[in-house]
Amino acid sequence: MKKAVSLFSLFLLFGCQNFGQLKFLTDLPKSLKEVSGTEIINNSDVIWMLNDGGNEPKLYAVSNKGKISKEIYVKAKNRDWEDLTSDAKGNLYIGDFGNNLNKRKNLTILKVDKRYLYQKNAEVEKIVFEYPDQNKFPPKKKHLLFDAESFFYFNDYLYIFTKSRVKNKYGKTSLYKIPAQKGKYTAKLIDEYENCKDVECWITSADISPDGKKIVLLSQKNILIFTDFKNDKFLSGSVKKIVLTHRSQKEGICFKDNNTLLITDEYAHGKGGNLYELNI
């Protein structure tokens, strides 16, 4: 009887909420309340997730019903994990490049070989990088452009999208690339784009479709879909903006297939902590 009442209460709770264009799939476990990265490896139904800085250095394998089937302890510090991507071979990459104060000199991407995804613990290879146009740590307020929460893998490179902390330019993002292999690199600046201006416009996650024809950028305010780009000038392609009518601290986005997105948000201010789906 208690179980039936609990299920009915949940139905009422989520049934009364308006998620706008997003299809609510499930709420996430408390252990993922600060989820900041979401990824599906090709030819797999498992959704990989991670939490941001201050949480345990773990990868979580999650079903579309929100059930955690596996936890993997990653042998690296979670300084500020912000996004998750994968390559065609099934290896995962963790973006440890959150840089709120714009003063980090240890920006790192952690590569987790696919063989560790079947084990309890994972070793990592480190890809360390710096921005070519940052000279001061931190820079002046008008140059606080070196935070990042978004990246994806494409053709042996990792593409990083920055998050602006400059007043009235919060929606600006710069696109950099580095090789997807162990080493130390100076990132190459590829492109730039200006979303809207307020805080809800900053870019919090990114992904590229399995066929390589679409990229998406996520903010709390909207989703940007870029198509018809040439080579890796992704931000110079045609862009479609989907204004989100449901607002929350959305920090994870990935392609389920070429036309379907999965989106996650952190549990904050009494809302969020859910997994959503969106057809585009």
Q: How far is CA 80 from CA 26, 56, 77, 221, in A?
A: 26, 11, 9, 23
Structural domain boundaries in the chain: 28-279
Does domain 28-279 fall under CATH 2.120.10? My reply is: yes
Q: What is the mean predicted confidence (pLDDT) over 245-256?
A: 95
pLDDT exceeds cutoff 50 at 140: yes
Q: How far is CA 192 from CA 92, 175, 217, in A?
A: 26, 6, 13
Amino acid 6: pLDDT: 44
- Residue 208: CB atoms within 10 A of its CB come to 21
Q: Whole-prediction pTM value?
A: 0.93
Amino acid 269: pLDDT: 83
Of 16-25, 198-207, 269-278, which range is least confident?
A: 16-25
Amino acid 2: pLDDT: 43
The distance of Cα 40 from the centroid of its chain, to the nearest Å, equals 12
Length of the chain: 280
Amino acid 18: pLDDT: 79
Tokens describing residue 65: 């019903």
